[in-house]
Amino acid sequence: MTFTSRLLRKASRKAVTSSTPIDSNLRQPGSTSVVSAATPQSGSVNSDELSTKTHQPATAPRIPALDGFRGFALFWMLAYHFVFSVHIHYESWLMQTFKKAGYFTWTCMDAFFLLSGYLIGGILIDAKDSPRFFRTFYIRRAYRILPLYLVILTLNYLGPMAWHLLRGGPELFSASEVPLWAYLTFTQNFWAAFGKTETFTMVVTWSLAVEEQFYLTMPLLVRKLSRSRLTYVLAAAVVCAPLLRVLLHYALRSGVEAQWALMPCRADSLSLGVLCALLVRTPHLWNALLAKRNLVYWAWAVITVPLLWLQFKQYNYASYAIIGPGYSLATLFFTCCLLVALTNQDGWVSKFLGSRPVVELGILSYCIYLIHLPVVEACRKVLGLRFGSQTTATNLGGLLLGALLFYVIAKLSWRFFERPLLRRGHAYKY
Digit-coded pLDDT (tens) for 237-289: 999 999 999 898 888 887 778 888 999 999 999 999 999 999 999 999 999 99
Q: Assess if residue 252 is contained within a domain.
A: no
Its domain, for residue 373, covers 3-178+196-207+267-290+343-425
Above pLDDT 70, what percent of the chain?
80
Q: Assess if residue 394 is contained within a domain.
A: yes
Find the mean pLDDT for residues 372-392: 86
- Which residues neighbour 81 within 8 Å (Cβ) at sequence distance 6 or greater? 21, 22, 23, 24, 372, 373
Find the mean pLDDT for residues 113-131: 95
Q: Assess if residue 225 is contained within a domain.
A: no
Where do the H-state alpha helices sit in 185-226? 188-193, 206-224
Q: pTM, whole model, 2 decimals?
A: 0.83
Q: Assess if residue 375 is contained within a domain.
A: yes
Cα separation, 263 vs 362, in Å, equals: 23
pLDDT in tens, 280-319: 999 999 999 999 989 999 999 999 998 888 877 777 777 7
In the chain, how many domains are there? 1
CB 203 within 8 A of CB 374: no
Q: What is the pLDDT of residue 164?
A: 53
> Cα 85–90–92 angle (5° rounding)?
135
Higher pLDDT, 10 or 77: 77
- In Å, how far are 123, 236, 266, 274, 320 from 239, measured between CA atoms? 24, 5, 11, 14, 16
Q: What is the pLDDT of residue 33?
A: 37
Higher pLDDT, 214 or 37: 214
Buried b (16+ CB within 10 A) or exposed e, 106-134: bbbbbbbbbbbbbbbbbbbbbbbeeeebe
Q: Assess if residue 374 is contained within a domain.
A: yes
Q: Assess if residue 349 is contained within a domain.
A: yes
Q: Assess if residue 249 is contained within a domain.
A: no
Q: What is the pLDDT of residue 256?
A: 79
Q: Assess if residue 125 is contained within a domain.
A: yes
Residue 65 confidence (pLDDT) above 70: yes
